[in-house]
Amino acid sequence: MKVLFLNGPNLNLLGTRQPEIYGKTTLLDIERMVRQRAVDLKVEIDFRQTNDEGELVDWIQGSKGTVNAIVLNAAAYTHTSVALRDAITAVELPVIEIHLSNIHAREPFRHRSLISGVCRGQIAGFGAQSYLLGLLAAVNLTTSS
């Protein structure tokens, strides 16, 4: 079983970017945490980050037939990207939307996610743990379907 983790814009700055909201854990720390848990679960992990919307679309398109599920922190594109929504719809894979922060408790423009309606579910507000919860959700979806 293989799970693709995709991270959108500015998540490369985790650790120093608004630590009061996103915590002090870096994206590399999170990747290590995910990989460690994945060993126990016998899951192969592909973990990527980009600031480029088109690259995220390409990665989602390219994942068809190569992974069992996608765990996606689309960051700011969550709130703006019809292209990401359409790519998720087209790829016909289970996609789990995750966020470090609770987007529903923040500014009103973050309450709306353009991708939620085409994802299997959303995990938000648990900091770095959102990634581990996303991994568990991906494993459960894949093994129970």
Residues 24-63 that bind ligand DQA (CB under 6 A): none
Q: Which stretch binds ligand DQA (CB under 6 A): 34-42, 48-56, 84-92, 93-101?
A: 93-101
Of positions 71, 75, 87, 93, contacts ligand DQA by CB under 6 A: 75
Of positions 1, 33, 41, 76, contacts ligand DQA by CB under 6 A: 76
Q: Which two tokens stand for residue 132?
A: 């581990």
Distances (CA, A) of 73 to 22, 58, 93: 13, 15, 16
Backbone angles phi, psi at 46, to 5 degrees: -115, 125
Of positions 101, 116, 129, 142, contacts ligand DQA by CB under 6 A: 101
Q: Which two tokens stand for residue 114?
A: 């353009």
Work out how close the CB of 65 gets to ligand DQA at its nearest, in angstroms, rounded to a whole number: 27
Q: Annotated active-site positions, please?
A: 22, 99
Burial grade of 144 (CB within 10 A; 0-12, 13-18, 19 or more): exposed
Closest Cα partner for 88 from 59, 116, 60, 69?
A: 60
List contacts with ligand DQA (CB under 6 A).
10, 73, 75-76, 78, 99-101, 103, 110
